[in-house]
Chain A
Amino acid sequence: MAETERYSRQILCWGEEKQRVLKRATVLVAGVGGLGATVGQLLARAGLGRLVLVDDGVVAWSDLNRQTLYAEKDVGKKKVLVARERLGAINAATELVTLDARIDEGFTVPVSTDAVADCLDNFASRFALHRGTPAGVPFVHGGIQGEHGQVLTLIPGESQSIDLLFAGCRQPEGPISVSPDGPIIIAGLMANELFHVLWGEPRLRDRFLVVDLATLSLQFLDV
């Protein structure tokens, strides 16, 4: 199978040079849950060169409504191991690196990472991930709760830091409401932004895209 055939439909969208950029790129996906499972899958399908997946969780029954890489037989297994198997089956050309680790203070994004996808499910880990991201490496944040979500790109060292921006936000108590479709929509928008980040054309730099699924509307909020 020729690469040109495999990626022929998307090359019609963005051309061969941008496809070559994706093939050379490394993205770290932090959290392989509702957002990360779909972000990772889209990046692998797109032909990304290298994916680093970080998560310390195991698949639970309550994940199956939205976490697109997992099935019933995976319940109880480590997410990164299942994700590695599924993503490897989707695209063997994408190099997969898995880290069974919780992201907290002291975590450092590996060198040679071209972009970071914040697919985490809590503010404390997001803040630690941002602190562990080298200056200049684009940080694409996503969040979802109920029928609302957001995507934002920050450039560490240049943009506001995410802990300054989200100062005062505490994690809600108990499980966060989340539909099957919401995380996939936000993850699709994150993947779209990640492609543009890798091409040097971010559209959400220092700009929230606020997604309202209750009214099917999008808003920008500059920060």
Chain B
Amino acid sequence: MIRVQFFGLLRLLLRKESVELPSEPGDTVGRVLERAEKTLTGPIIHKLAAGGVLNAGTIILVNRRNVLHLQGLETPVNDGDTVALFPPGAGG
């Protein structure tokens, strides 16, 4: 299984802490998020990415690593991995 966790404002918007999805061959962050979206009350992909490019504002971590330092939405995701979506507070 792949676990997708939501934090902060996303958790409030989606009314869900996490979803678990069966892994599929060739899974990537983008494909996992598309499948996760189908289980949710609201869309998430448009909040995170447009045209395959990640929007600023939410960090996506695969097993604690920001996907921008991996392969972005094309980052491979394997069975047992955790994908965390977190929009950090920017102010101080």
Within 8 A of A (CB), among B1-35: 5, 7-9, 11-12, 17
- A150-B89 Cα distance, complex, nearest whole Å: 7
- A150-B91 Cα distance, complex, nearest whole Å: 10
A146 CB contacts on chain B under 8 angstroms: 9, 89
**Shortest distance in angstroms between B13's beta carbon and chain A's nearest beta carbon?**
10
**Shortest distance in angstroms between A117's beta carbon and chain B's nearest beta carbon?**
10
Of the candidates A167, A168, A210, which one forms a contact with B8 in the assembled complex, judged by CB atoms under 8 Å apart?
Answer: A210
- A8-B89 Cα distance, complex, nearest whole Å: 36
Within 8 A of B (CB), among A138-173: 142-150, 160, 164-172
**Shortest distance in angstroms between A186's beta carbon and chain B's nearest beta carbon?**
8
Counting CB contacts under 8 A, is B68 at the interface? yes
- A12-B90 Cα distance, complex, nearest whole Å: 36
- Whether A221 pairs with B89 at a CB distance below 8 angstroms is no
Count residues of chain A with CB under 8 A from any CB of chain B: 43
Of the candidates A143, A167, A171, which one forms a contact with B66 in the assembled complex, judged by CB atoms under 8 Å apart?
Answer: A167
**Shortest distance in angstroms between A71's beta carbon and chain B's nearest beta carbon?**
20
What's the interface size class on B, roughly?
A: 20 to 34
- Whether A168 pairs with B54 at a CB distance below 8 angstroms is yes
Interface bits A200-219 vs B (CB < 8 Å: 1, else 0): 00000000101010110001
- Whether A170 pairs with B91 at a CB distance below 8 angstroms is no
30 A-B pairs in the complex with CB atoms less than 8 angstroms apart: A34-B92, A36-B92, A118-B92, A121-B90, A122-B90, A143-B89, A144-B89, A145-B88, A145-B91, A148-B9, A148-B87, A149-B89, A164-B69, A165-B59, A166-B59, A166-B88, A167-B59, A167-B69, A168-B56, A169-B90, A170-B56, A172-B57, A172-B90, A176-B91, A178-B91, A208-B7, A208-B86, A215-B11, A221-B84, A221-B86
